[in-house]
Amino acid sequence: MFEKGLLAGKRILVTGGGSGLGAAMGRRFVELGADLVICGRRVDVLQTTAAAIRADLGGRVEAIRCDIREPSAVETMMEAIWQQAPLDVLVNNAGATFIARTERLSFRAADAVLAPTLHGAMYCTLAAGKRWIEAGRGGVVLSILSTSTITGRAFTVPSAMAKAALLAMTKSLAVEWGPRGIRTVAVAPGAFPTAGATGQLRPEGREPNWALRNPLGRVGEHGELANLASYLVSDAAGYINGEMVVLDGGAHLRSSGAEDLLGWSEAQWESHRASRAKD
């Protein structure tokens, strides 16, 4: 689909890059010639993913343990990265979410979503942007958002709030940092099942044929998101700035994705709450 060297010479950091969509994007970036850095909290997962990509594709892949919820940890990571070579691209992919009745959320539970999804992405963006501007370098920030930025989404309110805030960041920095040669772009994926997200968002009891409600009758494939991300961070997309591209098969035109939960009984919610408490 793309020239093999589309991302040659690019050094890319993917937060939450050890698994799921982050790992899929990272692998595609390396296929297209990029040097890759992945970060996350689980060092064993990161190292396994990095080793697999190196074994399959060669190339340079580095794994760094970093809890992006902590500003000092983000600074330490960025310093370590820059000591080797500056980044060209930051991909804000890490995040957290789960379904819950909003009025039952504790402050701690809300912060468990906001901390990585909003604050972590903001910390990484500020840390990278500051270094690019101080050095007079350009760069790209790609944030992985959600169609909740368009429709809102019941029962995942902290996540919807965080993603909407990151869209505002994307649009605002496009104007503020664009003159510095820094582009900010975003993708709003629809349903791209991963082990982590599916377990949190599609528990037993939800609509079994939900994928068929998509106008295209299917869920997304990881490679489709990885290809779009590769294009957006490449020089070929150099005139795209401040925009969010929706990749969901048209699903958001039909539903926000949460309406089935409006019909859940008290017993279903209590069962779900109990199952989460065991995790």
Report d(CA 222, CA 200) in Å as an integer: 18
Domain 11-278: CATH architecture, name and number where available: 3-Layer(aba) Sandwich (3.40)
pLDDT > 90: percent of the chain: 81
Grade residue 175 by pLDDT with cuts at 50, 70 and 90: very high
For residues 13-28, average pLDDT: 97
Closest to 25 (Cα-Cα) out of 42, 7, 48: 7
What is the pLDDT, as a whole number, of residue 97?
92
Q: Where are the domains of the chain?
A: 11-278
**Is residue 8 scored above 80 in pLDDT?**
yes
Q: For residue 276, what are its two tokens?
A: 């989460």
Q: Are 218 and 177 in contact (CB under 8 A)?
A: no
CA distances (Å), origin 214, targets 54, 61, 234, 246, 251? 36, 36, 29, 14, 5
Residue 219 one-letter amino acid: V
Q: pLDDT tens, 214-272? A: 999 999 999 999 999 999 999 999 999 999 999 999 999 998 888 888 888 888 888 88
